[in-house]
Amino acid sequence: MIQFLRHSFFAARHFTSLDDLNAQLAAWITDVAHARRVPADPSGRLVRDAFEEERPRLLPLPEHPFACDLVRPALSGKTPYIRFDGNDYSLPHTLVRRPVTLVASETLVRLLDGSTEVARHPRSYDQGQHIEDDAHLAALAHAKRHARELRGRDRLRQACPTADAFLDALARRGSPLARQTATLLDLLDQYGSADLDPALADALSRGAISAAAVAHLLDQQARARHLPPPLTVVLPDDPRVRDLRVTPHALAPYDALLTPSAPPAAALEASDDSSA
């Protein structure tokens, strides 16, 4: 019977979904499998008639459906996705490179951490698809943003000893640390730690706890020294521009072009003769 089903039904059959395949199977059972004669039965009965005759003597189906889900161990790579049947299914970023259990039914793909379900996706029968849970992506973005903020604060603390107290004062005031830290990092790049740290201490002593106040103090110091305002260099993402190295040349030759040169000695003698 398995060979009959394999060669008569499945061979070269096309279907677009599991429901489509089941519908084709039901039609094949009615029109082909049950419409044929019972093999080796001299009476010539059809299979459907033999099945109806035997139905009262068959055992009933189990009360609970047979568990036919596919269960297998799974492990993600560097990204928070599990590859299954040619598609990628997202999982929480905290489980990257940790073993989980994949449970696949006809319609669902579930991921378990021990006995706890951590992801549930509709099963895809396409190829090369990314099936994602928005909550997984949002948690990953939040974790990356938080990590960047922490790295920025650590850089401030290493460059400026006063930064720790200043950031603590910002937190107590309820200021948005991410935006304030980004502004302070820009000031660090523009003025350097030697100017930024005294400005942080000055702002703390005045009670002006904000990155804007620190920027104002730095601007006042630059004006007092008659320094030009710092300019932020904005470069495109093209590596041919970002990695370009220009060799500076001496400017003295350009100054020489603007300096009047002394007349040659022969010209001076000619001038003296004409005057005589």
Number of domains making up the chain:
3
Verify that 214 and 188 share a domain, yes or no.
yes
Verify that 88 and 38 share a domain, yes or no.
no
In a domain, 30, yes or no: yes
- Helix (H) or strand (E) holding 104, with range, is strand 100-104
Task: Report the DSSP beta bridge partners of residue 102.
Answer: 72, 111
Q: Which of 90, 116, 132 is the last residue of a domain?
A: 132
In a domain, 229, yes or no: no
Verify that 217 and 185 share a domain, yes or no.
yes
pLDDT of residue 263: 60
Domain range enclosing 39: 2-57
In a domain, 144, yes or no: yes
CA atoms within 13 A on the CB side of 190: 19
Verify that 208 and 154 share a domain, yes or no.
yes
Verify that 152 and 189 share a domain, yes or no.
yes
Verify that 49 and 29 share a domain, yes or no.
yes
Q: Which of 57, 81, 96 is the last residue of a domain?
A: 57
The mean pLDDT value of the chain amounts to 86
In a domain, 159, yes or no: yes
Verify that 86 and 143 share a domain, yes or no.
no
In a domain, 13, yes or no: yes
The strand order across the sheet containing 87-90 reads 81-84, 87-90, 130-131
Distances (CA, A) of 92 to 78, 80, 112, 116, 189: 12, 7, 11, 13, 36
Listed in sequence order, the DSSP H helices in the chain are 2-5, 18-28, 47-54, 134-159, 163-172, 177-191, 193-206, 211-224, 239-242, 252-258, 265-275
In a domain, 45, yes or no: yes
Task: Give CA–CA dist 24/87, Å, rounded.
Answer: 26
CA angle 250, 255, 260 (to 5 degrees): 150
Q: Is residue 202 a contact partner of residue 216, using CB atoms and an 8 Å limit?
A: no
Name the DSSP class of 233: -
Verify that 125 and 160 share a domain, yes or no.
no
3-class DSSP assignment, residue 57? helix
Verify that 177 and 104 share a domain, yes or no.
no
Verify that 123 and 47 share a domain, yes or no.
no
Q: Which of 105, 132, 159 is the last residue of a domain?
A: 132
Task: Give CA–CA dist 115/112, Å, rounded.
Answer: 6
pLDDT averaged per 10 residues, the chain (length 276): 90 88 94 91 91 92 87 92 94 93 94 95 92 89 72 85 88 80 88 91 91 91 83 73 78 79 58 53
Verify that 97 and 152 share a domain, yes or no.
no
Verify that 200 and 180 share a domain, yes or no.
yes
pLDDT of residue 110: 96
pLDDT digit string, tens, across residues 56-74: 999 988 888 888 899 999 9
- Who's near 95: CB < 8 A, 6+ residues apart? 76, 80, 111, 113, 118
Sign of dihedral through CA atoms 125, 128, 132, 136?
positive
In a domain, 110, yes or no: yes
In a domain, 62, yes or no: no
pTM for this entry: 0.47
